[in-house]
Amino acid sequence: MACGLHAPTKTGMTQDRHLSGAPWRNFYGRFRGKTLRPNQETYLAEDLVKLSPGPVGWDINPDRKPIDLKSLFGDREVALEIGFGGGEHLVHQAVSYPQVGIIGCEPFLNGVAMLLGKIRASEAQNIAVYPGDVRNMLDVLPEASISRAFLLYPDPWPKKRHHRRRFVTESYLRPLSKVMKKNAIFRVATDIPDYVRQTLEEVPRHGFSWLAERPADWRAPWQDWISTRYEQKALREGRVPHYLTFRKL
Give yes or no for residue 241 binding ligand SAM (CB under 6 A).
Answer: no
Which of 53, 83, 131, 241 lies at the binding interface for ligand SAM (CB under 6 A)?
Answer: 83
Which of 3, 13, 22, 106 lies at the binding interface for ligand SAM (CB under 6 A)?
Answer: 106
Residue whose CB is less far from ligand SAM, 146 or 214: 146
Question: How distant, in Å, are the alpha carbons of 2, 38, 133 from that of 33?
Answer: 14, 15, 16
- Total of residues contacting ligand SAM (CB under 6 A): 21
Stretch that binds ligand SAM, among 35-43, 105-113, 177-185, 197-205 (CB under 6 A): 105-113
Calculate the CA 152 to chain-centre distance.
8
Nearest to 88 by CA among 68, 117, 130: 117
- What is the Cα–Cα distance from 136 to 105, expressed in whole angstroms? 9
Give yes or no for residue 218 binding ligand SAM (CB under 6 A).
Answer: no
User: What is the side-by-side strand order in the sheet with 146-152?
Assistant: 127-130, 100-105, 77-82, 146-152, 180-190, 242-248, 208-210
At 203, the amino acid letter reads V
User: Which residues are catalytic, by number?
Assistant: 155
Angle at 240 between CA 234 and CA 245, to 5 degrees: 105
E-assigned strands of the chain? 77-82, 100-105, 127-130, 146-152, 180-190, 208-210, 242-248
- Under DSSP, the state recorded for 178 is H
218 Cβ neighbours under 8 A, 6+ residues apart: 212, 242, 243, 244, 245
Q: How far is the CB of 107 from ligand SAM (least distance, A)?
A: 5
Give yes or no for residue 134 binding ligand SAM (CB under 6 A).
Answer: yes
What is the pattern of x (binds ligand SAM, CB under 6 A) and - over residues 20-49?
Answer: ---------x--------------------
Which of 58, 108, 195, 246 lies at the binding interface for ligand SAM (CB under 6 A)?
Answer: 108
Residue whose CB is less far from ligand SAM, 17 or 229: 229
Give yes or no for residue 243 binding ligand SAM (CB under 6 A).
Answer: no
Give yes or no for residue 129 binding ligand SAM (CB under 6 A).
Answer: no
Residue whose CB is less far from ligand SAM, 56 or 134: 134
- Under DSSP, the state recorded for 58 is T
Give yes or no for residue 110 binding ligand SAM (CB under 6 A).
Answer: no
Stretch that binds ligand SAM, among 65-73, 83-91, 117-125, 141-149 (CB under 6 A): 83-91
At 63, the amino acid letter reads D
Residues that bind ligand SAM (CB under 6 A): 29, 82-85, 105-108, 111, 133-135, 152-155, 228-231
